[in-house]
Amino acid sequence: MVSTKTQIASFEFDNCLMNAAGVACMTIEELEGVKNSAAGTFVTKTATLDFRQGNPEPRYQDVPLGSINSMGLPNKGLDYYLDYLLDLQEKEPNRTFFLSLVGMSPEETHTLLKKVQESDFRGLTELNLSCPNVPGKPQIAYDFETTDRILAEVFAYFTKPLGIKLPPYFDIVHFDQATAIFNKYPLKFVNCVNSIGNGLYIEDESVVIRPKNGFGGIGGEYIKPTALANVHAFYQRLNPQIQIIGTGGVLTGRDAFEHILCGASMVQVGTTLHKEGVGAFERITNELKVIMAEKGYESLEDFRGKLRYID
């Protein structure tokens, strides 16, 4: 009997696979599609306080080894997602879902989180500290001072289960510095990684997306080694109460297996979900179960974090 069930904080999930924020999660219809698939749960599109149109199209392009996007945080505004989730938690009291959000300023982030705090929402909140695509707004989590200040302010009033979505880091010192900040706070999880920011993809003599002269976040096969490195670096460093969600380059069950081996408790699928649709969850789950069965693993705990090193 092989099981891919998992837990984040005190919440249980029948499957460790779910969508990555940004894919298949803008509308209730899309969220229902993920909910009713083999996925264990869903996360909403990152919500801002108000509806946002986002950047001009074309702004997302699938490419052979992954994807490039510069969406610019298009979303329906916090109330749309929060109202849906409040309704859903009454209809499906035995399941838990993720709400992703970030403000266009630290002040707006606090307004959003205070609304969630004051609501009856009982799920998990993911604060997105890593959107690379809003012109003039840097990826928050690359600014350690600001990140520390925002988290200190947030935990002065926010008592519900909260995690953060991180951009990829590329230097060991940055893993150390980021961890020193995150370990000060009662975070329930960190999600590694968001897209690798500000890549360029060229076809013939042209970029393939309109915003920012073609610069956009890279996902898919390109980013798996970076994603795994971030999952494992934080798994090695973070207080064990802070769990890891692994995101980046998950095309197959083998990729999900590697994320879990690096320490992930939940695995998110972005680019592959965009390319393949919600059927990807069943396929990847089955592939993961075959690998686990071959190795004699019955649960994720049997191999989570147990990456082997060469002496």
Mind telling me the catalytic residues?
A: 131
With contacts defined by CB under 6 A, name the span among 6-14, 64-72, 107-115, 169-177 that binds ligand DHB.
64-72
What is the distance between the alpha carbons of residues 221 and 251, in angstroms, rounded to a whole number? 8
Count CB-CB contacts under 10 A for residue 276: 14
Applying CB under 6 A, does 192 fall inside the site for ligand DHB?
Answer: no
Which amino acid, residue 177? Q
What is the distance between the alpha carbons of residues 110 and 35, in angstroms, rounded to a whole number? 28
Pick one of 4, 41, 128, 147: the residue that binds ligand DHB (CB under 6 A): 128
Q: What is the strand order of the sheet 98-101 is part of? A: 17-19, 264-269, 243-247, 189-192, 162-166, 124-128, 98-101
Pick one of 4, 37, 147, 194: the residue that binds ligand DHB (CB under 6 A): 194
Pick one of 73, 140, 187, 278: the residue that binds ligand DHB (CB under 6 A): 73
Pick one of 71, 129, 209, 292: the residue that binds ligand DHB (CB under 6 A): 71
- Smallest gap from residue 202 Cβ to ligand DHB (A): 20
Would you give the binding string for ligand DHB spanning residues 143-182, x where CB under 6 A is met?
A: ----------------------------------------
> Taking each helix axis from N to C terminus, what angle separates 106-118 and 144-154, rounded to the nearest 10 degrees?
30
Cβ-based nearer residue to ligand DHB, 212 or 304: 212
Reference 200, options 57, 22, 69, 21; nearest CA is 69
- Give the footprint of ligand DHB on this chain (CB under 6 A): 22, 46, 69-73, 128, 130-133, 194-195, 217
